[in-house]
Structure 1
Amino acid sequence: MILQPILDLVSICAAQGITDAVLSPGSRCAPLTLAFARHPDIQVKTISDERAAAFIAMGMAQQQEVPTVLVCTSGSAAYNYAPAIAEAFFQQIPLLVLTADRPPEWIDQWDGQTIRQQEIFGKHIKASYQFPDDFHHPDKVWHAHRIVREAILNAQEFPMGPVHINIPLREPFYPNKDEAFDFKEFKKFEVIEGKRTLSDQQAAYLQSQLESYQKILILCGQQRPSVDVHRALEEVIQSKSAVVVSDTIANCQVDGTICFHDHFTVFEPLVDSLQPDLIISFGKSIISKNLKLFLRKSDARHWHISPNGYVPDTFQKLSTVVRGDVAEVLRLVKTRGEKATHFIQAWTNIDQLIGSRLPVFLKAAPFGEFNALQKILQEIPADSIIHVANSMAVRYLNFLGPRKQEIVANRGTSGIDGSNSTSVGCALTTDKFVTLLTGDMAFFYDRNAFWHNYSTPNLRIIVFNNHAGGIFRLIDGPANQPELEEFFETKQSLDAKNLCEEFGMDYYAVMDNPTLENSLQGFYTPSTHPKLIEVFSESVTNAEILKEIKGRIRKLVSEK
């Protein structure tokens, strides 16, 4: 017999607009599995590997901005969710995590698949709840309903994030043969939330403060694309009232944005001409370490715009938190009119210079993953989504300037785990092409992302296989150690050909420019299954190419 409150849990999810659940098989979670599988308004997918399941669910929720449900059995299964939950927490992605558990009296009694699951995700979860374990009193049923509603609302409230309900379940787990499920109808619990806008007095105060600064730098952190924010940034740039700097993951690289900053903010001779008086930031993290260090050395004040939630002091300069709408606050900057044109021109000139010369430098370089990526990016449809793995892949992408596609990266915790799975989750929610750019270490680490029965014909994968963690060759510390190859790069000999055969992907091996050009022909034509290009290179060569290009940029800048 399936408990009615378990059926009600699923009905409440549907009433609150949740449409997708990702389940991992198990016996203790059978009541939840059957309830979600049989509800007519929930689309259910089964992913056996809980770590992959959690990242797939996160990729779905990230695109839809609605919680995806995760369901797993008791024991270590829940712990396998942890990497994705931490990533979702710091990226502010909504998940409703449901873990089946043994009844409380059987915890710590050496029973199978039993660990301490209450608050298992610690400080990396927005909220944790313990579902009632008996329903003899009507208040217990009301309590169960309240927990589910509260958890869903908590996941969706800004800043969004993962929430956890631990659900103790007693046997029997399975319904009788003729048992019918009674999904009751629940009305949607509404939250009417007004837009957070500045009062006239607050806007006037900020405008008066802005007048006291000459050199303003607007810094865009990681976020989903926003039409309102794009328009506000375009107005600021056109008014010549501030410099706008954007990493690739900010999805804010409108015309006139500074996008090649990672190449030149490291140069000491440029510091004086580029230093701002005021930094205005919004969004989450940035990739560029050079930019972070540059801003930390400045004497600027720092405003951060955020409607709500915690605000970190990334540049050790935080002086003001503006609780308002990002686009509204940015438009206050343009009212200053044209100011500090020499400051804006200094940033623009160097950015445009590097943007014009970098393709020339790459064309002259030997074949490697850096110039291969540049050619691949030219073929990716503008109206598509790029998922990029951590380590060198996201850095190369940031080096190469502005993109029109939506850029997604797991920069909440910046780990290599889960990039494949996140892109699969995204591909399951859209008809657009989804391209994953990844290195070999991140790709093989998450190979179970493809171990499922669901079609993702819109998925395209580029694996840069240098048979090692090549980033360590570019960091002075590990690069200078005799243990570099064995203990840091961790040399490996795999390729993706067999994996593609196992999971039904078209496979293209690339060793040079001609094979790359051949592989890209028709790569983005519609297909019935995913396609993968594997670009082979040597980590030593890649490191030499990058160092050579950095040297040429340094020389170029020093001559101007």
Structure 2
Amino acid sequence: MRYSHYPIINIAAVCARLGVTRAVISPGSRNAPLTIAFARHPDIQCYSVSDERAAAFIALGMAQQSGAPVALICTSGSAGLNYAPAVAEAFFSRAPLLLLTADRPPEWIDQADGQTIRQRDMYGKHCKAAYEIPADYSHPDSVWAIYRTMSEAIHTATAFPPGAVHVNMPFREPFYPKPEHEIAFDEDVKIFSEERGSMQLSEASWCSIVEKLSKTEKILLVAGQNRMEKPLIEALNRLPFPLFGDIFSNIHTATNAVFRYEAGLQLTENNLAEWQPPDLLITFGQSVLSKALKNRLRKFPPQEHWHIQESGSVPDVFQSLTRIIRTSPLLFFQTLAEKSAFVQKATAWQPFPPVDMHKGDRQFEELWQTAALNEPAVVYRLMQVLPQGTTLHLANSMAVRYAQAVGLQRWQAVEVFCNRGTSGIDGCVSTAVGHALASPDKLHVLLVGDIAFMYDRNALWHNYALPNLRIVVLNNGGGGIFRMIDGPRGLAETDEYFVTRQALSARSAAEDAGFTYLYVNNKERFAELLPQLSADSAVLMEVVTQQTDNEQAWQFIQPRNWQV
């Protein structure tokens, strides 16, 4: 006897055949047919995470790390709404997610039935596409529609730019199979594949590009958020143009990458005669962190601005966009580097006078030697000892800004991730957990502030060991960034409503999750315990500092205070 939801069982088979090998499932009754299907499929690894918001960010981290779509499965009602923050992040940071939400049958929507909301299109424009499968499977066309819909949904999620796709699934009772029900996967379940090619530019386009570049003196490359790609770095190494990139652009190993480029922007802030705006700006990748760079290029725009991107909408970040080149950055720069005659004729130039950016290291060293324990010095010391091949995860707010100020040296083979699609703090721990689960052979280090960690403690509420994850919590008793930016600093409401002082510790969360807990409140203790981050087990180090010490340290390391 076949299980009444038998066609749903084959959804797992469709997913597996089209590259979905991981699923993150949150418990519920209405989603039982999906849970059973995915949990029993031999080619899909399933994870059970009770908190849907954490589950979604864990799946996001898995998708970011692997590049493959990850399925999310939840019950009906508000459960799916908890996916929304990760859905928005996936949209803007381009990560493929497949959202499978169980639902009531359509006739029961708006009839005050339990766990029933309006689930169709509930993610709005932050979702690449939204589908709903039939509630009844009696007709063969309905079964065909289910499998066709799943194929289309997966291809849509992975097509550039990748993102989240929602498939709403109304199920009728009963949900659970009886012992006599047959549950097996059909080998001939119908799917369709999709072939994609690279976006090749015409010879006429290349002639136009090379002609323009050969006549342009000042060309600046700016990399937005990007994966670490060795072939891309090799292509960039063959070009003479200066290259700016934030820490999560992952281009710091390129020979033309300007180390701590923000320092050069700050050092020319009061003497703009030393700043040489580019004639042509070429950008690639996603978001840019540096406000200094945005402000400078908006104030002194280039004559032309090209952005390299295969497809999808392109934001005009610097308000100077003149041309979109529809190809991949890798293919563009590889081809450009092969135009050897052009490259040999191109002249290198500097956007600002040469500065020894390593003077910043001396500033950090002096800070470590002379000041009380503070967050900038801790981040500096931590980033110095990251092993080669580490994946560094940065929470938003001050964590990413500290790491940006420190920077990664050219020799450091460290890849950096940060949720800069929406730049929220809500899922940074969960995202790092997803990365660690998806790549158990890599060391993952998460740098996170206390508010962001407390906000996302449920990232550790599951039963999966994380021996390759190290978490460093910078606990200054609140949102210290609001004491460092101009707007709220000095307001009577700042401590209560912006900084939001809190007295919690990460100890209990660490111990509940089976992490070794390390408490640090002075420099000697930090130096003593820092080597333990190299242990072969999950470690959480909580570094407790005073906000006033962090404010003073942040000002001390600013490039304007370097002795140049």
TM-score (norm 2): 0.94
* SS of corresponding position for 1:304: strand
* SS of corresponding position for 2:556: helix
* SS of corresponding position for 2:92: helix
* SS of corresponding position for 2:205: helix
Distance in 1 of aligned mates of 2:448 and 2:376: 12
Q: For 1:484-516, what per-residue CA distance to the aligned partner results, in whole angstroms no more than 9, with x for missing partners? A: 111110000011112222111101111122111
Identity %: 45
Whether the aligned pair in 2 keeps the contact of 1:15 and 1:187 (CA below 8 Å) is: no
2:542 is equivalent to residue 534 of structure 1: yes
Q: For 1:103-140, what per-residue CA distance to the aligned partner results, in whole angstroms no more than 9, with x for missing partners? A: 00000001100000000000100000011111222111
Matched residue, 2:101: 99
Matched residue, 2:526: 516
Letter in 2 for 1:538: Q
Matched residue, 2:120: 118
Q: Which ranges of structure 1 fall in alignment gaps of 5 or more residues? A: none
Which of 460, 463, 472 does residue 473 from structure 2 map onto? 463
Whether the aligned pair in 1 keeps the contact of 2:148 and 2:190 (CA below 8 Å) is: no
2:364 is equivalent to residue 362 of structure 1: no
Shift in alpha-carbon separation, 1:365–1:250, aligned structure 2, 3 A: farther
Shift of 1:276: 1.1
Shift in alpha-carbon separation, 1:247–1:428, aligned structure 2, 3 A: same
Matched residue, 2:438: 429
Shift of 1:341: 4.2
* SS of corresponding position for 2:271: helix
Whether the aligned pair in 2 keeps the contact of 1:261 and 1:351 (CA below 8 Å) is: no
* SS of corresponding position for 2:122: coil
Shift of 1:394: 0.3
* SS of corresponding position for 2:416: strand
Shift of 1:342: 4.7
Shift in alpha-carbon separation, 1:196–1:355, aligned structure 2, 3 A: farther
Distance in 2 of aligned mates of 1:271 and 1:173: 72
Matched residue, 1:343: 350
* SS of corresponding position for 1:482: coil
Matched residue, 1:483: 493
Matched residue, 2:262: 262
Distance in 2 of aligned mates of 1:495 and 1:144: 48
Shift of 1:74: 0.5
Which of 395, 405, 408 does residue 401 from structure 2 map onto? 395
Distance in 2 of aligned mates of 1:271 and 1:97: 53
Matched residue, 1:409: 418
Matched residue, 1:253: 252
2:374 is equivalent to residue 374 of structure 1: no
Matched residue, 1:201: 204
Q: For 1:58-98, what per-residue CA distance to the aligned partner results, in whole angstroms no more than 9, with x for missing partners? A: 11111111111000000000100000111011111001000
Shift of 1:265: 1.4
Q: Which ranges of structure 2 fall in alignment gaps of 5 or more residues? A: none
Distance in 1 of aligned mates of 2:29 and 2:367: 55
Whether the aligned pair in 2 keeps the contact of 1:222 and 1:249 (CA below 8 Å) is: yes
Letter in 1 for 2:202: S
Q: For 1:260-299, what per-residue CA distance to the aligned partner results, in whole angstroms no more than 9, with x for missing partners? A: 1223314131454331111100000011111111111123
Letter in 1 for 2:243: V
Matched residue, 1:7: 9
Which of 156, 160, 173 does residue 171 from structure 1 map onto? 173
Distance in 1 of aligned mates of 2:374 and 2:532: 22
Matched residue, 2:556: 548
Whether the aligned pair in 2 keeps the contact of 1:107 and 1:115 (CA below 8 Å) is: yes
Whether the aligned pair in 1 keeps the contact of 2:392 and 2:414 (CA below 8 Å) is: yes
Matched residue, 1:233: 236
2:219 is equivalent to residue 213 of structure 1: no
Q: For 1:4-33, what per-residue CA distance to the aligned partner results, in whole angstroms no more than 9, with x for missing partners? A: 220121110011121111000011111111
Distance in 2 of aligned mates of 1:470 and 1:365: 22
Whether the aligned pair in 1 keeps the contact of 2:52 and 2:74 (CA below 8 Å) is: yes
Distance in 2 of aligned mates of 1:30 and 1:519: 46
Alignment of 1:267-286 (within 5 A): 267-270=269-272, 272-286=274-288
Whether the aligned pair in 2 keeps the contact of 1:370 and 1:542 (CA below 8 Å) is: yes
Whether the aligned pair in 2 keeps the contact of 1:260 and 1:351 (CA below 8 Å) is: no
Distance in 1 of aligned mates of 2:355 and 2:38: 56
Shift of 1:327: 2.7
Matched residue, 1:352: 357
Distance in 1 of aligned mates of 2:191 and 2:134: 22
- Range moving further from structure 2, 456-465 or 319-328: 319-328
- Range moving further from structure 2, 196-205 or 418-427: 196-205
Whether the aligned pair in 2 keeps the contact of 1:280 and 1:305 (CA below 8 Å) is: yes
Whether the aligned pair in 2 keeps the contact of 1:523 and 1:531 (CA below 8 Å) is: yes
Shift in alpha-carbon separation, 1:250–1:2, aligned structure 2, 3 A: farther
Whether the aligned pair in 2 keeps the contact of 1:248 and 1:259 (CA below 8 Å) is: no
Which of 322, 325, 337 does residue 322 from structure 1 map onto? 325
Shift of 1:365: 4.5
Matched residue, 2:63: 61
2:33 is equivalent to residue 23 of structure 1: no
Which of 492, 498, 518 does residue 508 from structure 2 map onto? 498
Shift in alpha-carbon separation, 1:2–1:355, aligned structure 2, 3 A: farther
Distance in 1 of aligned mates of 2:249 and 2:348: 25
Distance in 2 of aligned mates of 1:541 and 1:356: 19
Distance in 1 of aligned mates of 2:385 and 2:96: 32
Letter in 2 for 1:456: L
Letter in 1 for 2:223: C
Letter in 2 for 1:247: D
Distance in 2 of aligned mates of 1:109 and 1:117: 14
Aligned CA-pair RMSD: 1.7
Letter in 1 for 2:251: C
* SS of corresponding position for 1:152: helix
Shift of 1:364: 4.4
Whether the aligned pair in 1 keeps the contact of 2:148 and 2:192 (CA below 8 Å) is: no
Distance in 2 of aligned mates of 1:309 and 1:256: 28
Distance in 2 of aligned mates of 1:102 and 1:46: 22
* SS of corresponding position for 1:51: helix
Whether the aligned pair in 1 keeps the contact of 2:242 and 2:348 (CA below 8 Å) is: no
Matched residue, 2:289: 287
Q: For 1:337-358, what per-residue CA distance to the aligned partner results, in whole angstroms no more than 9, with x for missing partners? A: 36454536x36x2263544544
Shift of 1:380: 1.7
2:188 is equivalent to residue 180 of structure 1: no
Letter in 1 for 2:257: T
Distance in 1 of aligned mates of 2:542 and 2:142: 55
Letter in 2 for 1:412: G
Matched residue, 1:148: 150
Shift of 1:521: 2.0
Q: For 1:443-496, what per-residue CA distance to the aligned partner results, in whole angstroms no more than 9, with x for missing partners? A: 010000000001111110000000010000111110020111111100000111
Whether the aligned pair in 2 keeps the contact of 1:247 and 1:259 (CA below 8 Å) is: no
